Structure 1
Amino acid sequence: MTLNKNKMIREIGRRTRLKNREVQLVLETLIDVWTEELVAGGKIELENFLVLETQIIDRGENAGTLKGGNAPRYVRRVSSRVSKKLRGQLNEGSHD
């Protein structure tokens, strides 16, 4: 199952009895705030859930030389890690 934006809006609206339009506005604003924080090089920590942060990767002096040489030396990527609590819950629910 995939929880996409529309399903999330409906489920939050159902659980909170907020109008879907209000939930959508909050969710879109949250995404904007998170995006701004990550672009600025910040970190997002949701206690007992996950951490999102950007990392700068140095690809070395010869980055892209095999394919024409225009690849940037430094690239930024977003990394995520789950909290210990969530990791424990995921491991409890795993069926090997």
Structure 2
Amino acid sequence: MSALLALAVQAATLPHSSSRRQMSQARLNAMADACHAPRKWVELRGREVVFKANPDAEYKKIECMLRKIRAVVDMTNIGFVGNDQISEDK
């Protein structure tokens, strides 16, 4: 079984001229609440959304958050940082 050790997502929010609604920390908090995820996982830094789950986070919560963020954020500028599970023989 693979365990997620680290995940960070960083994506630029949409330009101001976009027809999508403007991002706010309150909206990000509502997304976290809807996904039963800690609010500290997601933060608005200027026009960037930073998502960082706990190393032992449940995949379904991560998936839920990414789905909700993707619905309102331009995902053309995104990066993932993660590690595969270390094998038990190491």
Structure 2 length-normalised TM: 0.27
**Which is greater in Rg?**
1
Larger helix proportion, structure 1 or 2? 1
